[in-house]
């Protein structure tokens, strides 16, 4: 499967999980807004059950709405993989005079497909069973906080602090919006593939965002199905050779072996087939297809591969920093995640009734990020993938008006000039002090 086809297959389910993330954050902010008029802790204790009492059931309803129909959707996606991948090698059967068995008449492949559909559906369900946010732990770090603790512990304490006068309503809204969007909804579920776990690193406290986890679960399953299809076809075609696909922006350890022909044994020893970091492993977009020496023609010649590797490893410069193609694609993904978080900030600040100035600043920062993203993508020769930025819940305009944005830019430029002037003055004084000390000695 090519890279764009991978992205297309996972996009629908991935978007569902992004919408779930936004729905939960929106629910939290709306509860804070309901508590915004509370002026003392005694009043909060009276109102607490009304505002937070149904949170567990409400969360379950949001999750159920997001994942309903997942198994049917997964089955449909796997059917597309079969349609595309299994019939791909039909021409090889014809060239060597072998009979091609349709999928409908292949019970072995049907059984494999059913097992993988069940596996992926269970993974998607398990992602939602242990979700939360990375929130401040009170000691300068972040800790994974399950949703139940967010509502009944963290949020309760935060509103109590507001009621006691420790901070005002707008400060609380800004803080919660900032922390939740910076984190994104994350999962505490550890996946297992090829003998290695991924999705959560308990030692470092790192957890996957739910949309990333969902995408990875699907792509891993699709890759495994494609591998089974390839192995079955190769067995019937009587070949032990395979050609690995190629795609732009491959991570360096994959770029070393992509696009070439290998024996089945070499797929394991050279490409890492069957391991998490290797071929068909975590988030890998490569696959391999049967290759019959003397019959098949290579899709990628050694000369072409050498040219592409040289081109992708030649850095391009943007604002004083150089990026290879792989580094540029990683930077692009980071920028898209940051823009999506900023869009969520605008929406949540609005939902929380935050100060108009706070909303305007978030809008202007989003517009600045978007302009930088477009400039970066153009400089790197990459297509923009703005669909990664959006969720299905975008009420109202996100970008500011041109007039407001121009004024904000002018203010930022003036602040930057003042900071530069202050740094220059500080350096001048330091040099002057050093000179005076030198003269006195």
Same domain, 197 and 338: no
Q: In the chain, count H helices and then E strands.
A: 16, 12
Same domain, 57 and 188: yes
What per-residue confidence (pLDDT) applies to 73?
Answer: 87
Mean pLDDT of 204-225: 81
Q: Residue 389: inside a domain, yes or no?
A: yes
Q: Which of 190, 219, 248 is the last residue of a domain?
A: 219
Q: Residue 99: inside a domain, yes or no?
A: yes
Question: For a pLDDT cut of 90, what percent of the chain falls above it?
Answer: 47
Is the pLDDT higher at 35 or at 392?
35
What per-residue confidence (pLDDT) applies to 431?
Answer: 84
- What phi and psi values does residue 96 have, to the nearest 5 degrees? -110, 10
Same domain, 341 and 215: no
Same domain, 207 and 337: no
Question: How many structural domains is the chain composed of?
Answer: 2
Mean pLDDT of 40-60: 77
pLDDT reading at 394 higher than 70? no
Is the pLDDT higher at 366 or at 281?
366
Mean pLDDT of 57-77: 83
Residue 40 in contact with residue 164, Cβ under 8 Å? yes
Output the six-digit token pair for 225. Answer: 């199905």
Same domain, 209 and 349: no
Q: Residue 126: inside a domain, yes or no?
A: yes
Is the pLDDT higher at 385 or at 2?
385
pLDDT reading at 41 higher than 80? no
| Beta bridge pairs of residue 290 | 242
| CA 323/CA 325 separation, integer angstroms | 6
Mean pLDDT of 78-102: 88
Q: Which of 164, 199, 219 is the last residue of a domain?
A: 219
- pLDDT, tens digit, for every residue of 354-387? 999 999 999 999 999 999 999 999 999 999 988 8
What per-residue confidence (pLDDT) applies to 392?
Answer: 60
Query: Which stretch of DSSP H or E encloses residue 243?
Result: strand 241-244
Same domain, 147 and 16: yes
What per-residue confidence (pLDDT) applies to 393?
Answer: 60
Q: Which residue, among 135, 199, 160, has the nearest Cα to 42 in the 3D structure? A: 160
Enumerate residues 6+ apart whose C-beta is below 8 A from 177: 25, 29, 344, 345, 348, 349, 352, 354
Q: What is each CA distance from 22 to 26, 119, 180, 199, 249, in whole angstroms?
A: 6, 26, 10, 20, 30
Q: Count other C-beta atoms under 10 Å from residue 353's C-beta.
A: 16
Average pLDDT value for the chain: 87
DSSP label at residue 382: -
pLDDT reading at 282 higher than 60? yes
Q: Residue 273: inside a domain, yes or no?
A: no
pLDDT reading at 116 higher than 80? yes
Enumerate residues 6+ apart whose C-beta is below 8 A from 363: 346, 397, 398, 399, 400, 404, 405
| CA 331/CA 321 separation, integer angstroms | 12
What per-residue confidence (pLDDT) applies to 193?
Answer: 45
| CA 361/CA 405 separation, integer angstroms | 9
pLDDT tier, 284 (very low <50, low <70, confident <90, very high otherwise): confident
What per-residue confidence (pLDDT) applies to 69?
Answer: 75
pLDDT reading at 293 higher than 90? yes
Q: Which residue, among 188, 220, 205, has the nearest Cα to 287 in the 3D structure? A: 220
Same domain, 196 and 337: no
| Beta bridge pairs of residue 30 | none
Full domain range(s) for residue 408: 333-440
3-state secondary structure 273-302: CCCCCCCCCCCCCCCEEEECCCCCCCCCCH
- pLDDT, tens digit, for every residue of 241-263? 999 999 999 999 999 999 999 99
What per-residue confidence (pLDDT) applies to 409?
Answer: 95
Q: Residue 326: inside a domain, yes or no?
A: no
Q: What is each CA distance from 327 to 182, 286, 313, 427, in whole angstroms?
A: 22, 18, 10, 35
What per-residue confidence (pLDDT) applies to 191?
Answer: 54
pLDDT reading at 205 higher than 60? no
Same domain, 344 and 212: no
Q: Which residue, among 306, 332, 328, has the nearest Cα to 317 in the 3D structure? A: 328
| CA 326/CA 309 separation, integer angstroms | 11
pLDDT reading at 163 higher than 90? no
Mean pLDDT of 414-438: 88
Q: Which of 185, 219, 253 is the last residue of a domain?
A: 219
Q: Rounded to the nearest 10 degrees, how much is the dihedral formed by the CA atoms of 304, 305, 309, 311?
A: 10
Same domain, 338 and 211: no
Which SS3 state, helix, strand or coil, does residue 196 take? strand
What per-residue confidence (pLDDT) applies to 378?
Answer: 97
Q: Residue 268: inside a domain, yes or no?
A: no
Same domain, 338 and 213: no
User: What order do you get walking across the sheet with 241-244 strand by strand?
Assistant: 261-263, 241-244, 288-291
Q: Residue 173: inside a domain, yes or no?
A: yes
Output the six-digit token pair for 397. Answer: 């305009």
Q: Residue-wise over 317-349: b if at least 16 C-beta within 10 A, else e?
A: ebeeeebbbbbbbebbeebbbbbbbbbbbbbbb
Q: Residue 224: inside a domain, yes or no?
A: no
């Amino acid at each position: 499967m090519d890279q764009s086809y991978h992205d297309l297959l996972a996009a629908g389910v991935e978007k569902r999980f992004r919408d779930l993330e936004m729905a939960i954050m929106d629910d939290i902010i709306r509860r804070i807004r309901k508590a915004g008029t509370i002026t003392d802790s005694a009043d909060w204790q009276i109102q607490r059950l009304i505002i937070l009492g149904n949170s567990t059931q409400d969360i379950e309803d949001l999750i159920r709405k997001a994942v309903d129909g997942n198994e049917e959707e997964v089955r449909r996606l796997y059917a597309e993989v079969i349609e595309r991948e299994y019939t791909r090698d039909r021409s090889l059967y014809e060239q060597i005079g072998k009979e091609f068995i349709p999928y409908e008449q292949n019970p072995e492949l049907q059984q494999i497909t059913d097992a993988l559909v069940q596996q992926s559906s269970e993974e998607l369900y398990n992602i939602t069973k242990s979700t939360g946010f990375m929130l401040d732990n009170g000691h300068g770090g972040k800790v994974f906080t399950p949703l139940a603790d967010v509502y009944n512990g963290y949020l309760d304490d935060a509103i109590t602090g507001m009621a006691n006068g420790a901070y005002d309503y707008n400060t609380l809204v800004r803080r919660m919006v900032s922390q939740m969007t910076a984190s994104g909804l994350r999962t505490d579920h550890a996946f297992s593939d090829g003998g290695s776990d991924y999705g959560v690193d308990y030692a470092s406290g790192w957890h996957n965002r739910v949309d990333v986890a969902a995408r990875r679960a699907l792509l891993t399953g699709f890759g495994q199905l494609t591998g089974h299809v390839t192995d079955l076809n190769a067995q019937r075609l009587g070949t032990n050779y395979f050609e690995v696909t190629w795609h732009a922006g491959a991570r360096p350890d994959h770029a070393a072996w992509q696009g070439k022909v290998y024996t089945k044994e070499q797929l394991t020893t050279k490409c890492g087939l069957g391991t998490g970091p290797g071929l068909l492993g975590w988030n890998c977009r490569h696959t391999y297809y049967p290759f019959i020496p003397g019959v098949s023609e290579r899709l990628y010649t050694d000369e072409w591969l050498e040219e592409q590797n040289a081109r992708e490893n030649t850095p391009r410069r943007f604002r004083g920093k150089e990026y290879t193609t792989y580094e540029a694609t990683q930077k692009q993904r980071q920028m898209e995640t940051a823009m999506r978080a900023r869009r969520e900030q605008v929406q949540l600040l609005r939902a929380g009734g935050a100060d108009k100035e706070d909303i305007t600043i978030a809008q202007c920062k989003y517009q600045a990020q978007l302009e930088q993203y477009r400039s970066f993508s153009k400089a790197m020769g990459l297509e923009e993938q703005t669909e990664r930025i959006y969720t299905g819940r975008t009420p109202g305009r996100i970008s500011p008006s041109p007039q407001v944005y121009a004024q904000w830019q002018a203010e930022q430029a003036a602040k930057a000039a003042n900071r530069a002037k202050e740094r220059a003055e500080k350096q001048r004084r330091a040099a002057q002090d050093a000179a005076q000390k030198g003269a006195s000695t």
